[in-house]
Amino acid sequence: MPAVLAGEEWQDCIILIFGAPRTAVFAHLDSIGFTVRYGRQLVRIGGPVLETGTRLVGHDSQGAIECTLVIDEETGQPTYEFTRDIDRGTELTFQCDFRETETTVQSCYLDNRLGVWNALRLCETLENGIVVFSCWEEHGGGAVAYLAKYIYETYGVRQALISDITWVTEGVHAGQGVAISLRDSLIPRRSYVERIRRIAEAAGIPHQLEVEGSGGSDAKELQHGAQPWDWCFVGAPEDNVHSPDEIVDKRDIESMLALYQELMRQL
């Protein structure tokens, strides 16, 4: 059984400590969406795809909400259509339409429900390591800085894996294995990433190497925090990013979990 750190001092985050940890896994709990502003205006939380007709759900003082996203044709700004006004400050998220086939799962928020799922499945067999469930990743960060400081100062751990979902691109394809990111907008320390590549190769786990010039993750706060963290983003790729129709190949989920199990043993 892991030690569980949760409660007010951790805001809405949770930390699980297993055995004698050497590496920490970060999986963010938060989602993209919208905040209701004035009139029928919406303000974005993170970077949701803006498409008229998308179904949004929420809850305010008058009860449950199921409304429709409408993009203003002149301004390009998001608004909503509903039978009544919604309370100022209400948060709206995509309505979930979960679809599963033999080879894929499809839904909103696979980023980062799948990263969380991967971390939870990892816990089933984890002997030594830390698993962190974080907040605010989709909107500029705000929790990993203090989580990372506590973990480093308490356990001396400064190796991290980012359990999150990345993008299908011209170089990273669905079904060809979990992506090991060599860089995104930030550049992790090469010696650490190369250790991870060697472990993946030696274990014969299907994987792909990703190289991007943009995008970020919980690793931003590790990179910029006041501890010498080594970090690497390791996650399955999805298509239809940040839409209600995010889709992931099940083989990539399998290789993601297999690689995390191996990395947590060897790193």
Q: What phi, psi does 78 have (nearest 5°)?
A: -75, 140
DSSP letters for 16-30? EEESS-SEEEEEE--
Contact between 206 and a second copy per CB under 8 A: no
Structure tokens of 120? 């939870």
CB of residue 146 vs a second copy: minimum separation in angstroms?
Answer: 5
DSSP 3: E
**Distances in whole angstroms, Cα of residue 176 to Cα of each of 43, 88, 134, 249, 256:** 36, 45, 28, 9, 11
Q: How far apart are CA 26 and CA 125, in angstroms?
A: 17
Query: By CB under 8 A, is residue 141 in contact with a second copy?
Result: yes
Pairing of strands 23-28, 129-134: parallel
Among 29, 119, 143, 160, indicate the residue that binds a second copy (CB under 8 A). Answer: 143
**Is residue 74 at the binding interface for a second copy, with CB under 8 A as the rule?**
no
Considering only 106-114, 199-207, 211-219, 241-249, which stretch makes contact with a second copy by CB under 8 A? 211-219
Nearer to a second copy, 125 or 185 (CB): 185
| CA atoms of 228 and 51, how far apart (whole Å) | 41
Please report the DSSP string for 42-72 in residue order: EEEES-----TT-EEEEEETTEEEEEEEEE-
Determine if 56 is a binding residue for a second copy (CB under 8 A): no
**Which residue's CB is nearer to a second copy, number 173 or number 265?**
173
Site string for a second copy, 216-255 (x = CB under 8 A): -----x-xxxxxx-x-------------------------
Verify binding: residue 198, a second copy, rule CB under 8 A: no
Question: Residues 150-189: x/- map of binding to a second copy (CB under 8 A)?
Answer: --------x----------xxx----------xx-xxx-x
Contacts with a second copy by CB under 8 A lie at 9-12, 35-39, 43-45, 88-89, 91, 136, 139-143, 145-146, 148-149, 158, 169-171, 182-183, 185-187, 189-190, 209, 211-213, 221, 223-228, 230
